[in-house]
Structures are given as structure tokens and as C-alpha cells.
Amino acid sequence: IVSESNDDIFKFPCEYPIKVFGLNQPDLEKSVCSIIENYVGKLHENQISIKNSSKGKYVSITIRIIATSRKQLDSINTDLQKSPLVSYLL
């Protein structure tokens, strides 16, 4: 049986979208960007896209980064999951 590690799936560095969902709150975007910037440096506006739900209660934020390792992605996901403003991650 051959098993692939998660590192074999990605060829680092690679472009990687991080998608976050949460209630439409003023601090959500700032908080999400701050967490991700801890691992990738300053984000640029063209890396971030925001879409409100049809009724405006929720928002999805997609941030495209250049991922350098599986450990980096795992750390970002762990920190985002700890945020009380974040409802879901994709």
C-alpha cells in the first residue's frame, strides 16, 4: 500500500486560497487578515475578496496566498479556528 503524505499533494510554494465565513461584523476582515499576515507578511488588496450573503448576515472572505509549507497552512488554519469571529473555514 502506497500512502501519500499531505506534502505530496502540494508542490510548494504554490498559490493557495483560504476561505473564511463568519457573521458580517466590522472586525472580521481585520482579524482574519491579521492572523494570516502573521504567517505570510503584509497582504495586498488584490489578494482579498469579500462577498456578503444574500441577506447580508454573513460574509465570506477569500484570501489568496503563496503557501510555502504544509506546516504554514496548518498553523494558519489552527489560528483561524481559534478566532471567535470565524464560523467556518474551507
CA distance 79 to 76: 5
Per-residue pLDDT at 2 = 47
pLDDT in tens, 36-48: 999 999 999 999 9
pLDDT band at 5 (very low <50, low <70, confident <90, very high): low
- As a whole number, mean pLDDT of residues 43-65 equals 97
pLDDT in tens, 10-34: 789 999 999 999 999 989 999 999 9
Q: Looking at the DSSP assignment, which residues form a beta bridge with residue 62?
A: 19, 49
pTM exceeds 0.75, yes or no: yes
